[in-house]
Every structure is written in structure tokens, then in C-alpha cells.
Amino acid sequence: MGVIERVKKEWFLLGIVFVISMAKVDPSLGVKGGPLKPEYTVKYFAVSFIFFNSGLSLKTEDLTSALFQVKLHGFIQTFTLVFIPCLIRVLIKGLQYSPINPWLLKGLMVVGCMPPPVSSAVILTKAVGGNEAAAIFNSALGSFLGIFVTPVLLLLFLGSPSAVPYSTIFGQLTLTVVVPLIVGQVVRRYVKDWLEKSKPPFGSISSCTLLLIIYTTFCDTFSSSDIELDHFSLVSIVCVVLLIQVCLLLFLFFVTRSPSFGFTPSDVVSLMFCATHKSLTLGIPMLKIVFAGYEHLSVISIPLLVYHPTQILLGGVLVSPVRTWMLAAQKVKVTGASKSSNTNSHPAAGEVV
């Protein structure tokens, strides 16, 4: 793959590095009260636009094929919105005695509270050949649940960062998250045919808007001289994030193959990706609302910014071996079912035909 092709493929990750670097060079442009006026353009327009775009792009009308796999959906949502937050909470209890920056540890808790992503889990499940319908369903379901569950988890585990009443926070969430998402779904009903024909780049549009949010968030950080991060803490968080993802993937891979669950090999694939991935696109805007004006906002955002590319890169590495396992497991299952059918079709010895 050439340099240009690689840049095109990884443009968003490169964009994150670029906007953070630009914020470091001159934070005055995107700081609160600066020329970009992020307290209005980002807080209301950019965040609302991302969720309107999500509502417009979610193909909820195509989810009926996976609707009745209740056990699979329940497992994924419980794992990602209950088990992972509790697991990371326990992990942080141990890490709080380490030299790692405590605000980065709070950022790990933020990662645990996030809903599953809209696209990456679906893309990887499809690349392997797993249960794509279930992946699409759970990405959509997780996005809707996350609008309500994630803010509650954030406030439960991290508390309110200021004297802002909870009613104000949830009012802001309703105005900039729930309403735009519903409006997007309503608009989709009327322009669905046009969307199918033109196929607008929803992912790229949301990613560009997200880069603006990340940029202004780090402008606030670099404009403050009170916030410092040491290299040990940053490297440690990257290692911890990678370790968390590897452990979660291995745990799900070995546990969900158990016959007691009754999941097919293609179900296991969707479980691995949907239950372990976390949404950056939905997460950063939510943090911007729940922790508005918080001086450590960008610091607690760092683990999520690390988690996002890590889950994509790790998933990409796993596509080939997981596909090989899935095809082999499906072949064994078909062979076993065939032998069982043949055995039942032949009369037992001494049986009168």
C-alpha cells in the first residue's frame, strides 16, 4: 500500500494528531471566548449535528432480521454497559496506587462508560463474515441506550464536576443529543430513497465535525498552565488500554463458545467486536456536555482517544485469524450435524425395516 493510500485510509487518526498539534501551537483560536466561539458553535451546533447525522444514517428499518436474537443482544449490552464499567472501576482501584496521573485514570472510567460505536464493530464483523445483522442491531441499540445510560454512568462513577444541577445536564443532553437523533430518524423516513442512491459519506462528515470538537477541547487544555502530563503516565495508559482490549477479546472468545450459551460461530464474532468496542463519535460530544467547562476535560478524554484507534488496529489484525477459526468451526458444526442426521436415518442393528 502506497503512502497516499495509507494516508487516505488513516486520515482520521492523522487528523486527531494534527488538530491536537495545532491546539498546542496556538490555543487562542479555539479556546472558550476565542474567534471560533466553541461555547456556541461546538456546544450547540457541532454536537447536535453529529447526532442528527447519526439519526439520519442509522438504518433502523433493516434491523428486523436480528430483532428476535434477544439473548445475544442482552449479552452484548449488559457486557458493554454493565460488566466493563464495573471491571474498569475495580482496575482503577488498584492503579490508583501507581504513579499514573489520576485524571488519566478517571479517563479510563470514562472509556468504560461509553456505548458501542456506530460503525467500527459492524465493519470488522462484516470483514470476518460474522453475524452482521446482529452487529448492526446492537450498534444502533447501543447508540440509543448510550444516550441515556452513559451520562448516568459518568455521573455515578465520576460525579458532577461542578455545581451544575443534574436537571440542567440532562436538559442539555435532551436538546443536543436526543432531539437531533429523533429528528434525523424522522427526516430519514422522507429521504430514504435519495440516501440509498446518493450514499452520503456520513462517517466522514461526523469525523470532520468530531475533529473540531477535539481541537477546541485541547485548546482549552493548552491555554491552561496548571495542567501537565508526564510521559510515564501517557505510555502507561496506552499499555493499559491495549491490555484491557486484549483481555476482553480473549475472555469473550473463550467464554461465548461454550455450548451452554448456544451462540453460533458467527454470533461469537459479533460478540467479540460489539461488546468490547467503545464509541468516540458519541463519547466526546457527551463528555463535552456532561463536563462542560471542566478544566481537565481534555485529559480525561485521552484514554478514549487512545482506545478508538487501538480497537480498530487490533480488530484489523484479528480479522484473518478470527475468520479462519469461524470457517473451521462452522465446517465442524455442519459435519457433526450431517453425521448425526445420517446416524438417525439408518436402522439400528436387528431392527425390522
343 domain-assigned: no
197 domain-assigned: yes
pLDDT for position 338: 58
**Res. 346: pLDDT tops 60:** no
CA 348 to each of CA 102, 172, 182, 340, 341: distance values in angstroms, whole numbers, following the listed order: 70, 71, 62, 14, 14
Give CA–CA dist 116/77, Å, rounded: 8
129 domain-assigned: yes
85 domain-assigned: yes
Q: How would you write 265-297 as a 3-class SS string?
A: HHHHHHHHHHCCCCCHHHHHHHHHHHCCCCCCH
Mean of the per-residue pLDDT values of the chain:
82
pLDDT for position 295: 74
113 or 11, greater pLDDT? 113
Report pTM: 0.74
Query: How is residue 75 written as a grid cell?
Result: 449479552
148 domain-assigned: yes
pLDDT for position 250: 95
87 domain-assigned: yes
As a whole-number percent, the residues of the chain with pLDDT over 70 amount to: 86
pLDDT for position 163: 46
- Residue 27, classed as helix, strand or coil, is coil
Determine the average pLDDT of the residues in 321-330: 91
The tens digit of pLDDT for each residue in 185-220 reads: 889 889 988 988 888 888 788 888 878 888 887 787
2 domain-assigned: no
pLDDT for position 353: 41
The tens digit of pLDDT for each residue in 287-325 reads: 877 777 677 787 888 898 888 878 887 888 888 899 999
269 or 224, greater pLDDT? 269
Sign for the CA dihedral angle at 307, 324, 262, 251 comes to negative
| CATH number assigned to the domain comprising residue 73 | 1.20.1530.20
Min mean pLDDT across 54-58, 142-146, 168-172, 336-340 is at 336-340
**Res. 34: pLDDT tops 50:** yes
User: Which distant-in-sequence residues (6+ apart) come within 8 Å of 105 by Cβ?
Assistant: 92, 95, 96
Determine the average pLDDT of the residues in 240-266: 93
The tens digit of pLDDT for each residue in 60-93 reads: 665 666 677 889 999 999 999 999 999 999 999 9
Determine the average pLDDT of the residues in 179-184: 85
177 domain-assigned: yes
pLDDT band for 352, please (50, 70, 90 cuts): very low
> How many domains is the chain built from?
1
137 or 333, greater pLDDT? 137
Burial string for 200-228 (b: 16+ CB within 10 Å, else e) reads: eebbeebbebbbbbbbbbbbbbbbeeeee
The tens digit of pLDDT for each residue in 95-119 reads: 989 999 998 999 999 999 998 876 6
pLDDT band for 337, please (50, 70, 90 cuts): low
Q: Which domain holds residue 100?
A: 8-326
Determine the average pLDDT of the residues in 276-288: 83
**Res. 340: pLDDT tops 80:** no
